[in-house]
Structure 1
Amino acid sequence: VMESSYSISWAPGVSLKHKVFDENGNIAVSENGNSINLVSKNLLALEPESHSPSFDSFAPHVFFSMDTFYLEGVQGVAHNWDQFGKWIHNSLLNDVSELPPATVTKVRNMVNGDYTLEEKTRLIYEYVQKNTRYISVQIGIGGWKPMPATEVDNVGYGDCKALTNYTRTLLKAADIPSYYTVVYASAEKRNILHDFPSLQGNHVILAVPNEDETIWLECTSQDIPFGFLGDFTDDRDVLMVTPEGGKIAHTEDYDHNTNYLITKGNCSLDVDGNISVTARMESSGIQYDDRYKVIEAKKDKQDKHYKNYWNYIDNISISEMEFVNDREAVMLKESLEFDARSYAGFAGNDMLLNVNILNRSTYIPKKYKNRQRALSLPRGFKDVDEVVIELPEGYAVKTLPEPIKFEGDFGKYSSEVVVKESGDLIYKRTFEIHEGDFPKESYDAYRKFRRKVAKSDNQKLILSKI
C-alpha cells in the first residue's frame, strides 16, 4: 500500500469514539475538533504464515463507534455494554418475540411432564431443528433486527437472528429464560471487545442458563447436536443480551482431551504384501465436528473422503462403511472395511511393513527463514490408536521398531509394537497436540516436534520368511 487515508467529520454534539490497533505505528492519527484523519503509507503486504494468530490480532485497523446512533430511524445507545444490550433487547427483540396461541399451547404440551430444564430445552431445540431451515435474510435494521417469531413459525425458515430469536421465544413459552447472544463466528477465534461497546459480531447464538452452567445452542443447523457449538463459535468472548442489559460471556472451550479420536483396527497381511483392514473410529469434540458431516454425503463422496484420509495408502478398495452418530453423547462411530494391494514392500526375501496403517501423521509445518508472527495452536486434540496386525503364514518378525516416547510444550507422542503369543502384532500409539499461544521463537521447535511425529509414524518393521 503506497498510501491510504480515511477521514471522518461529524456535527457538534455527536460523540464519536475510536480504538486503534496498530502495534508498529503504521497508522498516523490526527484529530481536529469534530474531525479525525488517519493515514498509512508504504505498508508492505502481510505474507501468510502457518499457525499464526487471528488476522485481526496483528493487522493494523481502527474501530469507530458512537455513544448514540440511529439505524433506520431507531435510536441506539452504546455508552457501555449494559446499555447496548438493553437497546438490542428493547428495540430489536421485544416487538418480534410473540407466538401464535396454538404454538404456545403446542410447546407447553411438549414439555408437560417430569422433565429437567435441560430435557425441556432439548425437546424444544430438536423441534426447531425438525421444523425450520436456515436462509440468509439481510433485511431490517442493517441486518440486525430479526424477522418476527410469528413469521418464522408460519414459513419455517429464517436467518441466524430469526431462528435464534424464534428458539428463545419458544423457550419463553415454556418458562425457560434464554439469552440472544452476539458473536464473531468463524473457525478463527475472535472476541467481542470488552472495552469498546459498539456494533460488533457477525452471528447470533442462544445461551440458556442451567444452574451453574450455560447451554449454548447453534440455532441455524438442522444436524448439529444439542448443546454443541463446534469450531464455528467455540472458546471466545460474546455479548449476551439480557433484559437487564448486555453482559460479556465466554462460550465453551473444547480442550485436547475432549477433542479425541480413538482408532482401533485389525489388519490381515498376505504373502504378496496386500492388506485387508477393518477399522473402527470414535470421535468427540472438535474431531467429531470435523468428521460427522461425512455421514450425509453420497456414497461416492464418502469413498473419496476416506481415500483422501488414507492418502498414504495406494490401491485402496473400500467395501463397507457404517456410521453411528450419537448426537446425545456428541460422538461419531465410523466402521470401515477395505483392501489395499501391495501395501508392504519387498527387499529380496524380506517384507517391509509400515506399522502405522490407520492414522499416520505426514504433516510438517512450512519452514520460514524469518518467522514474523507468534505461534498459535487454538485447538488441541488427542489420538489413541490400537491396531492388530496379522502376519502371513511363513513369515516372522526379523526387526521390530523400538518404542518411541517424547513430549514437550506442544504435546506428546508414544508408539510401540507388541508381539502377541500367536506371533501377530499389536501397534499402539498416542499423539496429543496441546492448545496454546507461543512466541514466534517457538515455531522452529514446533516444526521439529511435528517432523519428529511424522518420522515416528513412518516406522517400518522387517518380516522374513521362516
Structure 2
Amino acid sequence: MSRPLLTVAAVLLVQSGIVSAATAGAVPHYAVADLPAALRENAHAVVRYEEQTLVVKSVSRTVETNRHAVTILDEAGADWATQLVYYDQLNTVSYLRGTVYDAAGKVIRQLRAADVRDFSLSDGFSLASDGRGRAADMRQANYPYTVEYEYEVVSTNPLFYSSWYAQPKEQLAVEKSTFRVVTPTNLPLRYKEQHLPSGASVVHTAEGGMEIYEWQVQNLAAVEEEHDAPPVAELTPAVFTAPTEFEVQGHHGTLNSWQTLGQWNYDLNAGRDELPAAMKARIASLVQGETDERARIRKVYEFLQANTRYISIQLGIGGWQTFPASSVAANGYGDCKALTNYCKALLQAADVKAYCALVRADEPDIRTDFPSSQFNHVILCVPLTKAAKADTVWLECTSQTNQFNYMGSFTGNRHALLLTPAGGKLVRTPRYGVAENRRERRADVYLDAQGNATATVRTLRTGLEQDNFNALFHSLAPAEQKKRVADILPLANFSITKFSLAPGAPTGLPTMVENLGLALPNFAPPSGRRVFLSANLLSRWSSLPAAVGERQADIWLDNAFTHSDTIRIHVPAGMKPESLPAPVKLTTAFGTYSSQVLALPDGTLQYVRQLRMPLTHFSRTEYAAYVEFRRKISAADKAPVVFVKTDS
C-alpha cells in the first residue's frame, strides 16, 4: 500500500525545518538483508527511499527538499555516496545533512559541517559567476553500505521548477521514490509525465487553498544499458514541471506556451541593442557597396569573430538579461547572450534584420510538447529577406573559429526558440545528415616480402564528422594533435611517420584534412607461401551481441554519416592474389553498405567501401534485424585477401 500524502501542514513544517522528513513520515530501515533479491539483480546501487518535495511559496519563491537513501552494493555504484548541491545568487542552501549506515542498518557516522566542501563552480573562463556548490563525499571502503542525504534549497528563481527522475541511471534499482508538489490554487502546476509504470501511485488533492500533487513508484528493477538505445533517463519514470506564472528579480512573466516564454525573454532584453554612433559608422563602411545580403552578413560575422571574445556572465538575472551592445563594443567581450545581441545590433547597422534564439546546446533536444525553460545557450537567426531564394543564416557568436553559417553538433539538428517582438516561436536549426557528414579516405598500402608495410592516408571530413578534429586543430599544438589521432587509430602495431591536420578548401560546410604516414611492422606476416591481410585498413565495424531476453529500448541511430574508403594495396614482385573477398552489398532501412576488392591491371588491388547511416529510430522489435545487418558488415570488413608467392 502506498504511503498516504502528508498534509499541507506537515509539508510546510518539513520545509521550515521544524521537523525532518523522517519524523514527518515513516522512518525507513536500510538493512541490506531487507532488500528483495530482484532489486539486487544487475544493480550497483539501490535507492531505498527518496522523497523530493517542491513547495511553491509565491510567484517568486519556491522551496525544494530532497531526502534519499541509497544502498551501495559495489565499487561501480560508489558515486551514489556523493552529493553536490548547487546554489547561487538566486538559490540558497538551507542545510545539507548526511548519514552512513553499515550493511545491518547501523549508523557508522554522520556528516559534519567540516566534511562539506563549498567551492566555486566557475568554468575557468567566466568573467563573473556566482555558481557555487556544496559537496559531500561519504564513500566507504567496505561494501555494501547505505548513504542517506537530506538538503533544502530556497529559490527566488521560479522560472525553473523541479524535475523528478525516479531512475536516472542504468544499473540502479529503486525500492521507493516519491515526488510531491504543493502549490497555491492560484498558481496552477503544469506538468508532463513520462513512462510511469502501471503500478505507479498518482494522487492530486486540494487542501486549504493549496493543490497537492504526488507521484510514487516502487520496486523498479535495475535497467541495463542497451546498444544504440536512448539514454536510460529517457526510458524510465519521470515527471517534468513548470510554472504558469513566475517572477525573477522583479521581472514578471507567464509560461503557458512557447510564445509567452519567448515574450518574457524578448522583453527582458528589449532596447539593449543600441550601438555607439562610431560603431554604426564603422559597420556601414564595412558593408558599403556590398549588395548581396549573405555577403553582408558574412562580413559582419567575420568582424565579430576578429574583434570579440567569449566570457561567461552568470550573476542573478544576468543569466537571461544581456549586457548592452554598447558594453561589448567598448570592451570586446561578452557571454553568449551579449555576443549574440551585439551581432544582432551590428547586423542592424548593416541593414539586416536578425533574431536571437534560445537553444539547448551540447545536449539532447528539448521536449517540444512541454513549453518550459529548457535552454542553456543563445544563437543568432538571420532570415534572408532580400535574397532571390528564401533561406536562413545561423550564427554561433561565441566562437572565433566557427565557419560562417555552421552550427555543428553543438546546436545543429534541434529546435530553438526564436525571440521576436510577438513572442517566442519554435524553429529548427540546420539539419546535418548523410549528405553533409562525410568521411572520405584514400590510402596506399605498400607491403614488403617480410610482411611489413607502410601507408599513406588522406582523410577528408565534412560537417559533423569534422567537429572533433576541428576542435583539436584550434585547441592543441601539432604534437598533441598527433598523439590524440594516434590514440584513436584502430591498429595494433604502428607508428606515425608523417602527420598534418588542417582545414580543407572552403565550401558550404567546414572541412578538415588529415594526412598520415604510417609504419606498420608485421602487418601481414607470411604463412608458408601465403600472405593474409585485410584490405580494410582503418574502418572496420564491430558486430553487436544479440539481446539477452527481450529488448527493452527502441533503436536510436542518431549519428547520420557517410563513410567512403578507397585503398590501394601494393605488393612486391613474386606475389599475386589467390583469393579475393566476394563483393558485398546491403540495402536496409538501417543503412546501406557496399564493399569490393578489384585486381587492377598494374598488379595492385583496390578496395572500395561505403557505409551510409541516416538518422533513424526503430522499434525494439527490429533489434534482431539490426544485429544481423551489423554482423554482415563486420564479416565483410574482416574478410581477408589471400596472396600467394609465385617465386619460391
TM-score, normalization by structure 2: 0.67
Q: Which of the numbers 332, 336, 344 marks the counterpart of 2:512?
A: 332
Quote the Cα distance in structure 1 between the aligned partners of 2:577 and 2:180.
75
Report the 3-state secondary structure (helix = DSSP H, G, I; strand = E; otherwise coil) of the residue aligned with 2:539.
Answer: coil
Q: Does the Cα contact within 8 Å between 2:417 and 2:426 map onto a contact in 1? A: yes
> Structure 1 residue 73: deviation in Å?
0.9
Root-mean-square deviation (CA, aligned residues, Å) is 2.2
Alignment of 1:138-149 (within 5 A): 138-141=314-317, 143-149=319-325
Quote the Cα distance in structure 2 between the aligned partners of 1:17 and 1:315.
58
> Structure 1 residue 200: deviation in Å?
2.3
Alignment of 1:54-453 (within 5 A): 54-55=231-232, 57-90=234-267, 92-141=268-317, 143-186=319-362, 188-194=363-369, 196-211=370-385, 212-296=390-474, 297-329=476-508, 330-357=510-537, 359-370=538-549, 371-453=551-633
Instruction: Give the equivalent residue in structure 1 for 2:197.
Output: 24
Structure 2: segments with no counterpart, 5+ residues: 1-173
Quote the Cα distance in structure 1 between the aligned partners of 2:292 and 2:400.
23
Quote the Cα distance in structure 2 between the aligned partners of 1:116 and 1:106.
19
Q: Does the Cα contact within 8 Å between 1:292 and 1:325 map onto a contact in 2? A: no
Quote the Cα distance in structure 2 between the aligned partners of 1:287 and 1:399.
34
> Structure 1 residue 306: deviation in Å?
2.9
Q: Does the Cα contact within 8 Å between 1:26 and 1:60 map onto a contact in 2? A: no
Q: Does the Cα contact within 8 Å between 2:440 and 2:564 map onto a contact in 1? A: yes
Q: For residue 332 of structure 2, what is the amino acid of its counterpart?
A: G
Quote the Cα distance in structure 2 between the aligned partners of 1:173 and 1:28.
58
Which range moved further: 301-310 or 122-131? Answer: 301-310
Q: Does the Cα contact within 8 Å between 1:351 and 1:463 map onto a contact in 2? A: yes
Structure of higher RCO (CA pairs closer than 8 Å, 6+ residues apart): 1
Quote the Cα distance in structure 1 between the aligned partners of 2:315 and 2:221.
38
> Structure 1 residue 55: deviation in Å?
5.0
Query: In structure 2, do the counterparts of structure 1 residues 26 and 152 end up closer, same or farther at CA, with 3 Å as the change threshold?
Result: farther
Report the 3-state secondary structure (helix = DSSP H, G, I; strand = E; otherwise coil) of the residue aligned with 2:459.
Answer: strand
Which range moved further: 161-170 or 310-319? Answer: 310-319
> Structure 1 residue 110: deviation in Å?
1.3
Quote the Cα distance in structure 1 between the aligned partners of 2:238 and 2:378.
24
Which range moved further: 35-44 or 412-421? Answer: 35-44
> Structure 1 residue 311: deviation in Å?
2.3
Which range moved further: 418-427 or 150-159? Answer: 150-159
Report the 3-state secondary structure (helix = DSSP H, G, I; strand = E; otherwise coil) of the residue aligned with 2:368.
Answer: coil
Report the 3-state secondary structure (helix = DSSP H, G, I; strand = E; otherwise coil) of the residue aligned with 1:40.
Answer: strand
Q: Does the Cα contact within 8 Å between 1:192 and 1:238 map onto a contact in 2? A: no
> Structure 1 residue 54: deviation in Å?
4.7
Q: Does the Cα contact within 8 Å between 2:325 and 2:341 map onto a contact in 1? A: yes
Q: Does the Cα contact within 8 Å between 1:140 and 1:146 map onto a contact in 2? A: no
Query: In structure 2, do the counterparts of structure 1 residues 327 and 431 end up closer, same or farther at CA, with 3 Å as the change threshold?
Result: same
Query: In structure 2, do the counterparts of structure 1 residues 50 and 218 end up closer, same or farther at CA, with 3 Å as the change threshold?
Result: farther
Instruction: Give the equivalent residue in structure 2 for 1:11.
Output: 184
- 1:104-134: CA deviation from partner (whole Å, max 9, x where unpaired): 2222211112242211111122222222222
> Structure 1 residue 83: deviation in Å?
2.7
- 1:225-255: CA deviation from partner (whole Å, max 9, x where unpaired): 1111111222222211111221111111111
Instruction: Give the equivalent residue in structure 1 for 2:40.
Output: none
Query: In structure 2, do the counterparts of structure 1 residues 379 and 26 end up closer, same or farther at CA, with 3 Å as the change threshold?
Result: farther
Q: Which of the numbers 619, 623, 635 marks the counterpart of 1:455?
A: 635
> Structure 1 residue 411: deviation in Å?
1.0
Q: Does the Cα contact within 8 Å between 1:3 and 1:39 map onto a contact in 2? A: no
Quote the Cα distance in structure 1 between the aligned partners of 2:308 and 2:232.
34
Report the 3-state secondary structure (helix = DSSP H, G, I; strand = E; otherwise coil) of the residue aligned with 1:346.
Answer: coil
Q: Does the Cα contact within 8 Å between 1:54 and 1:189 map onto a contact in 2? A: no
4+ runs deviating over 4 angstroms: none
Q: How many matched pairs? A: 462
Q: Does the Cα contact within 8 Å between 1:226 and 1:327 map onto a contact in 2? A: no
Q: For residue 375 of structure 2, what is the amino acid of its counterpart?
A: G
Quote the Cα distance in structure 1 between the aligned partners of 2:285 and 2:435.
39
Q: Which of the numbers 15, 28, 35 marks the counterpart of 2:211?
A: 35
Q: Does the Cα contact within 8 Å between 2:498 and 2:515 map onto a contact in 1? A: no
Q: Does the Cα contact within 8 Å between 1:183 and 1:192 map onto a contact in 2? A: no
Report the 3-state secondary structure (helix = DSSP H, G, I; strand = E; otherwise coil) of the residue aligned with 2:612.
Answer: strand
Percent identity over the alignment is 32
> Structure 1 residue 23: deviation in Å?
4.3
- 1:31-81: CA deviation from partner (whole Å, max 9, x where unpaired): 223222323232344432232225554232223223321011111122332
Report the 3-state secondary structure (helix = DSSP H, G, I; strand = E; otherwise coil) of the residue aligned with 1:32.
Answer: strand
Q: Does the Cα contact within 8 Å between 2:358 and 2:379 map onto a contact in 1? A: yes
Report the 3-state secondary structure (helix = DSSP H, G, I; strand = E; otherwise coil) of the residue aligned with 1:10.
Answer: strand
- 1:286-305: CA deviation from partner (whole Å, max 9, x where unpaired): 11224322323223322223
Q: Does the Cα contact within 8 Å between 2:196 and 2:238 map onto a contact in 1? A: no
Which range moved further: 338-347 or 156-165? Answer: 156-165
Query: In structure 2, do the counterparts of structure 1 residues 36 and 413 end up closer, same or farther at CA, with 3 Å as the change threshold?
Result: same
Which range moved further: 290-299 or 110-119? Answer: 290-299
Quote the Cα distance in structure 2 between the aligned partners of 1:377 and 1:349.
44
Query: In structure 2, do the counterparts of structure 1 residues 375 and 31 end up closer, same or farther at CA, with 3 Å as the change threshold?
Result: same
Q: For residue 24 of structure 1, what is the amino acid of its counterpart?
A: P
> Structure 1 residue 147: deviation in Å?
2.3
> Structure 1 residue 142: deviation in Å?
6.7
Query: In structure 2, do the counterparts of structure 1 residues 37 and 83 end up closer, same or farther at CA, with 3 Å as the change threshold?
Result: closer
> Structure 1 residue 141: deviation in Å?
1.6
Quote the Cα distance in structure 1 between the aligned partners of 2:604 and 2:179.
71
Query: In structure 2, do the counterparts of structure 1 residues 322 and 372 end up closer, same or farther at CA, with 3 Å as the change threshold?
Result: closer
Q: Does the Cα contact within 8 Å between 2:366 and 2:374 map onto a contact in 1? A: no
Q: For residue 208 of structure 1, what is the amino acid of its counterpart?
A: V
Quote the Cα distance in structure 2 between the aligned partners of 1:80 and 1:462.
65
